[in-house]
Amino acid sequence: MTYTQIALVAAVLAVLIDIYVLRIAITKKRIFWASYSIIIFFQLITNGILTGAGIVEYSGAKIIGSDTPISSRPPFIGDGRIAYAPVEDLIFGFALVVLTLSMWIWLGKRGVQREPLAGPPRFKPSWKRNR
């Protein structure tokens, strides 16, 4: 499988799990898409820095619409890229966010919480006990 195919399968599976398995349907809510626009903005910045600086490199033969060799600097936009990073990274990011948020909500509805619970301490500090 190519990077593109894996990204598409991951995105489709994340949406199917969200809607049919966990029954959260976060992708059908406006608040998700408003929040996701903020997430994608910062994802583009991070991907752009990592890929533009050459910290992470992708073979042009493995991503959609690109023929850039791995040794050359990728274009900012075009050649299968947005902000230096492949379009597939945005698809993978979408799958990751959908699955993470869906699982978080699903577990929260079932009362699964981390310990200790958030909030103020449930005990009085020793300096307040004698008063």
Instruction: State how far the Cα of 73 lies from the Cα of 81, in Å rounded to an integer.
Output: 12
Place of tokens 């949406």: 15
- pLDDT score for 92: 93
Of 3, 7, 27, the closest CA to residue 93 belongs to 7
Of the pLDDT bands very low, low, confident and very high (cuts 50, 70, 90), residue 8 is: very high
Q: So where are the chain's domains?
A: 3-129
The CA-to-CA distance between both ends of the chain, in Å, stands at 69
Answer whether residue 131 shows pLDDT above 60. Answer: no
In this model, does residue 105 exceed pLDDT 70? yes
Using the predicted structure, report yes or no on whether residue 121 has a pLDDT greater than 80: no
> Mind listing the pLDDT tens digit for each residue in 32-42?
999 999 999 99
Confidence class for position 113, pLDDT limits 50, 70, 90: low
pLDDT in tens, 60-92: 777 777 766 666 777 788 777 888 888 888 999
